[in-house]
Structure 1
Amino acid sequence: MSKKLADNGLWESSRIILPEHRAAYLNLLKERHRRERVELDEQEKELISIALRSSYKHRVPLSIQMYDPFETLRVEGVVNAIADLRGAFRVEDDWYQIEDIERVEKYEDW
């Protein structure tokens, strides 16, 4: 007799994964790799503000590490505009939130 028909083999060989279960499992795997937001103290926030304004005023290129829950996001370039009321800044044509900045460095390759 075949292994599949012996004991519990019939049920073992007929297992399927429903699309809803697969989606839930993939979401669970994705959520396990979620990054937490970094809490910055007031001194670090002030240094970030100085770096953004220096880039805007003196056209200094920056490398800015931004918060993203699932991947490493880095913005590189010169700050073109700062909107204090919106809490945002612009590099090239894209706007980013200032609260999402984790770290700012001078971009050495330019």
Structure 2
Amino acid sequence: MASKLSENGIYEGSRLILPEHREAYLAQEELQRRRGKPVLDEQEMQLIEEAILESYQDCRSVTLTVFNPFDDEDIRGVVASIDKPNRRIKLVRADEDYSWIRIEEITAALL
């Protein structure tokens, strides 16, 4: 006969997890999945800026990949405004919704 202190006895089988501990554990797991922002070289940044400028001048649609610590986001739209002092652009989507995107957060641009 097994002891009550081992092999899933009384003490082993009566473990509880408090909701606060579970939330803290899940938050810690979420932080560990974060990833760092990729470092772009000068040529890649120049290609991104050229695609943004071409979209602005010709009113062409562009797909931007915006960095997110957990999952990158692809946004498609037309560049409506360029804010040079703050280094951000105003991207208007098909449903007339717009968003301001910082140029430093863009990791790729496709026309």
TM bucket normalised to smaller: 0.7 to 0.9
- Does structure 1 residue 104 correspond to structure 2 residue 100? no
Aligned pairs for 1:58-69 within 5 A: 58-69=58-69
State the distance in 2 between where 1:100 and 1:35 align: 14
In the TM superposition, residue 10 of structure 1 has moved relative to its aligned partner by: 1.5
Q: 37-46 vs 23-32, which deviates more?
A: 23-32
Question: Which 4+ stretches in 1 moved above 3 angstroms?
Answer: none
**SS of equivalent to 1:78:** strand
Aligned pairs for 1:50-65 within 5 A: 50-65=50-65
Q: 2:4 aligns with which of 7, 23, 32?
A: 7
Give the aligned partner of residue 86 of structure 1.
Answer: 86
In the TM superposition, residue 85 of structure 1 has moved relative to its aligned partner by: 0.6
**Contact 2:4-2:11 within 8 A present in 1 as well:** no
- Matched to 1:94, the amino acid is S
The TM-score, its normalising length taken from structure 1, stands at: 0.84
Deviations 1:2-61 (A, max 9, x none): x8xx51222122211122211121122212321220101111111111111110110111
Q: 49-58 vs 21-30, which deviates more?
A: 21-30
Structure 2: unaligned runs, 5 residues or longer: 93-97
**SS of equivalent to 2:43:** helix
Q: 48-57 vs 8-17, which deviates more?
A: 8-17
RMSD: 1.6
**SS of equivalent to 1:20:** helix
Aligned pairs for 1:19-98 within 5 A: 19-92=19-92, 93-98=98-103
**SS of equivalent to 1:37:** coil
Structure 1: unaligned runs, 5 residues or longer: none
